[in-house]
């Protein structure tokens, strides 16, 4: 039935779209929720996906892909956008609250300062510390020089006697790992 939409989707009527939505919403919600693990956020993302499909259907080319592929590509991109934004928010929060210090992951540091911060931020804080502490010593040192001391890549490379591209790569890979850890460390 979806194949019938491929040829006619450029002239979508509300009835066609409602039918398309009804046939695909449950599978799409399952796909998104499998990636996000939060049903409410998954429902919001699913709605955004269908809005995006409706707004961009004029750009759809049935000779290049199926409408289902178009739908799931949009969903995948929305999920990636959500995860990127969420991880950036958490890293931004952490850099405002505390510098990258080696700390025990069993304690959250100074509970007096944490009283006004909600449980989710405390958990993220602990995850970030745990992730930071799991990095190798050189990567931790590079991050400290970059973010605690605001050193430029060249300065870090000279201080540590390593190539500039290695500094950039270590920072990139360390932040990527930490973002992933925030989302998946339990």
Q: What is the pLDDT of residue 84?
A: 77
Q: Are 83 and 22 in contact (CB under 8 A)?
A: no
CA pair distance 177, 186, nearest whole angstrom: 15
Three-class DSSP category at 102: coil
Q: Tell me the two tokens of residue 63.
A: 């000779």
Q: What is the pLDDT of residue 82?
A: 83
Q: What is the pLDDT of residue 10?
A: 45
Whether domain 98-184 has CATH 1.10.10.10: the reply is: yes
Q: Domain spans of the chain?
A: 2-84, 98-184
Q: What is the pLDDT of residue 89?
A: 66
Q: What is the pLDDT of residue 107?
A: 42
Q: What is the pLDDT of residue 114?
A: 46
- Nearest Cα neighbor of 181 from 144, 127, 139 is 127
Q: What is the pLDDT of residue 103?
A: 46
Q: What is the pLDDT of residue 55?
A: 86
For each successive 10 residues of the chain (186 residues), what is the average pLDDT? 47 66 92 87 92 84 84 89 74 53 45 50 78 90 87 91 93 89 71
Residue 138 CB contacts under 8 Å (≥ 6 apart), including other chains: 160, 170
CATH of domain 2-84: 1.10.1740.10
């Amino acid at each position: 039935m979806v194949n019938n939409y491929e040829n006619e989707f450029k002239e979508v009527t509300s009835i066609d779209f409602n039918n398309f939505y009804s046939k695909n919403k449950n599978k799409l919600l399952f796909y998104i929720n499998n990636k996000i693990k939060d049903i409410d956020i998954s429902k919001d993302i699913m709605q955004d996906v269908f809005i995006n499909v409706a707004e961009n259907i004029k750009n759809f080319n049935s000779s290049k892909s199926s409408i289902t592929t178009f739908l799931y590509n949009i969903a995948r991109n929305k999920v990636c956008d959500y995860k990127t934004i969420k991880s950036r928010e958490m890293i931004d929060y952490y850099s405002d609250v505390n510098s990258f210090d080696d700390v025990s992951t069993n304690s959250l540091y100074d509970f007096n300062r944490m009283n006004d911060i909600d449980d989710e931020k405390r958990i993220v804080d602990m995850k970030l510390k745990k992730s930071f502490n799991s990095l190798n010593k050189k990567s931790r040192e590079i991050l400290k020089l970059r973010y605690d001391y605001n050193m430029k890549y060249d300065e870090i490379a000279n201080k540590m006697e390593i190539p500039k591209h290695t500094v950039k790569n270590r920072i990139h890979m360390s932040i990527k790992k930490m973002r992933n850890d925030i989302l998946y460390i339990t």
